Structure 1
Amino acid sequence: MPQPPPPESQRPARESLPAEQRHRESEFPGSFPDFQSQSFPFSLLTLQPLSGIIQITAGGSHTCALTAASEVYCWGSNRSGEAGIGGYSDLAAPVIPVPGLSGISAIAAGKAHTCALTGAGTVYCWGYNYFGQLGDGTTTSSPTPVQVSGLSNATAIAAGEDHTCALVIDGTVRCWGMNWYGQLGDGTLGYYSLPIQVMQSLPVKTYLPAVSR
């Protein structure tokens, strides 16, 4: 059974926290509650195995599973809404399927966002969106699924740390999100909140004049 948080006098100084935790707090300011100044009711939960799973995906600090019934369950870190069920409380176990989804055929998780592909070829994403990795034309994070704009006939999806890509039925690829290192593949740098097509970089041919010998 979980133990209540220690009193304020026993709270460790921030400087003594592990480096990873200090980094996470600075990266997502205000998203970590002050557990020492709050009291939480604790109750025993009845847990049962999650079954019927056909695919799993793991993000930076969260995990999701797709069931044979096309339901998506997520758990773990939810500070950016990457669990997809509304709100921003972390989940120590899957609670309910992500609402508003149907006909899901594949899932993919990034560092703090998650995406789902439908059998009809559309894609829905939720969670952290500072770099446009949800693909809805905004940089506003969402704790519930939003549809990727301007994308249809997708057949597969993949997610990186802060970007997402989809394979389209015609064999082309569309990507969106962070592009500081060129990961969207269109020859530019920056970030895009809408899907852009991956372009092949072809070598420039130089034609030299014929030389008489």
Structure 2
Amino acid sequence: MPISVVIADDQEMVRTGFRMILESRDDIEVLDDVVDGEAALEAVDRLRPDVLLLDIRMPGTDGLEVTRRLTERAAAHPELGHRPRIVIVTTFDLDEYVRATLHGGASGFLLKDASPALLVEAVRAAAVGDSLVSPAITVRLLRELAPATGRGAAARTPAEPLTERERDVVRELARGRTNAEIADRLYVSLSTVKSHLAHVQTKLAVRNRVEIAAWAWESGLATGST
């Protein structure tokens, strides 16, 4: 079964470009493209896509509100059994809402000028429950998300302390490296990296690797200050 996608963006050229890129892949099917947040919510209910490719800045109901509603609805009504994975598309320099969306449950972040290959990778990663944040966004964006002063003061405390190896893995993740790159740098297997990240996710009570990376910057682990 192909990965089903709904695109929500108020710019027609962006929607058209994303559709052309995604539909050129045999394993991805674009079900619809819509112009605003309310239409995105309606399309999710009607079409039940695997992935929602969502512009964060739209007139009316923006991407932040769409993410919040879908996350809250899934938490309140788990019996519904469906919530699309959300990949946020943002223009980094203008986006003051990214922090809230990050903690709201998005599965990935892309700049609107991301390469076609990165767009496809982000959709595929989201569909299997993983996350993709391009290295440029990870380092620049998450550095901005960390408090400018008192770094670490607002970061959550893990339920159990992270092991030294888990800290190594998280540090590399927060610097924008993929699982395969982390495995190469730390001389461990890919399955070992995934296992470490699963343990960290449980200890931090977070939903995905994006939130793990955010915690690393907030706590100072990513900069080596803890």
User: Is this a same-fold pair by TM over 0.5?
Assistant: no
Higher relative contact order (CA 8 A, sep 6+): 2
Tell me the TM-score normalized by structure 1. 0.26
Structure (1 or 2) with the greater strand fraction: 1
For the pair shown, which has the larger CA radius of gyration, 1 or 2? 1
Structure (1 or 2) with the greater helix fraction: 2
